[in-house]
Amino acid sequence: MGEPALADTGLIARALKHGDSDWWMQTGQLAYEANYQLINDNLLDLAHLSYVHENTLGRNSMAWANSKPRVQRIDRGLRISRWVVNNPAPNYLDQPKGMLTDMWTSYDYMAPGVFLLQTRSYHPGTATACAMEEPAAAPLWSTMTSQAVTPIDERHTVYYYSGCLEKSFASEEQSLAQFEVFERAFAEDNAMIEAQQQVIGKTSEPRMLGTSSDHALNQFRRLMDELMSAETAMPAAQGIGFAAVRIPAQA
């Protein structure tokens, strides 16, 4: 993990703080027996919500899988945005049964593994009215989550996460219900990623093959390689304070 004395607190990504008066916030953590980069890969392609999380975050819909993300390079990370069209409203918000929304989602994924996501839900048709660009109007409701992928060693990672709902729209009970869905979904991720790590561990000279949907995760791995190479080249006194454990890069 590098030398603690060399860590630069100025590089910590800004996130919604604990105790914010406008938001309900629930927090948790999950241990992984897997390399942290596999978890990064998973979070960099949210199309998996329609598959891995069919009955939780995917809401029994192909809306996430059918959406097309926009990937933008930002300082020390990526910004990934998309419209998720005709997405079922979550049950925990007690909206009308069968209600559909157009949901604008945008998240910054920052080195070495910090995920900052906001979603804004609108009436169906909003995405088309906005020409699939970012909306300016106030949403029906918003949610936020901040997550941190924290490597322990080559095969162990701790995943810290939060679920946040606006107090002006949702109750604390609804916030707790949202978080229960999050925890079931993250357990689904854990099972899938640990199985992936086991396959990699049993494979001599593993080499991952990329697909057309791997654009964001390939960019992020290249960014991480650039940052680690730059840190290795720095004098010790100028190090930025994170070292990373590696698994084979995707093609």
Domain count along the chain: 1
Hey, which residues does 87 pair with through a beta bridge? Answer: 101
Do the beta carbons of residue 162 and residue 145 sit within 8 Å? yes
Residue 101 lies in a domain: yes
Average pLDDT, the chain: 90
Q: What is the DSSP string of 69-82?
A: -EEEEETTEEEEEE
Residue 152 lies in a domain: yes
Residue 57 lies in a domain: yes
For residue 181, the SS3 value is helix
Per cent of the chain over pLDDT 90 is 77
Residue 232 lies in a domain: yes
Q: What is the pLDDT of residues 92-104, one digit of tens each?
A: 999 999 999 999 9
Cα gap 35→244, rounded to integer Å: 10
If phi over 0 gives left and psi between -120 and 50 gives alpha, with beta otherwise, what is residue 24? beta
Residue 49 lies in a domain: yes
Report field, pTM of the whole predicted structure over 0.85: yes
Q: What is the pLDDT of residues 204-242, one digit of tens each?
A: 888 877 777 788 999 999 999 999 898 887 654 444 444
**Res. 243 pLDDT band, cuts 50 70 90:** very low
CATH of the domain at 96: 3.90.380.10
Residue 38 lies in a domain: yes
Q: Which long-range contacts (CB under 8 A, 24 or more apart) does 44-48 make?
A: 44/78, 44/80, 44/109, 44/216, 44/217, 44/220, 45/213, 45/214, 45/216, 45/217, 46/80, 46/82, 46/105, 47/213
Residue 28 lies in a domain: yes
Residue 13 lies in a domain: yes
Q: What is the pLDDT of residues 133-167, one digit of tens each?
A: 999 999 999 999 999 999 999 999 999 999 999 99
Cα gap 177→171, rounded to integer Å: 10
Residue-number span of the structural domain to which 97 is assigned: 4-238
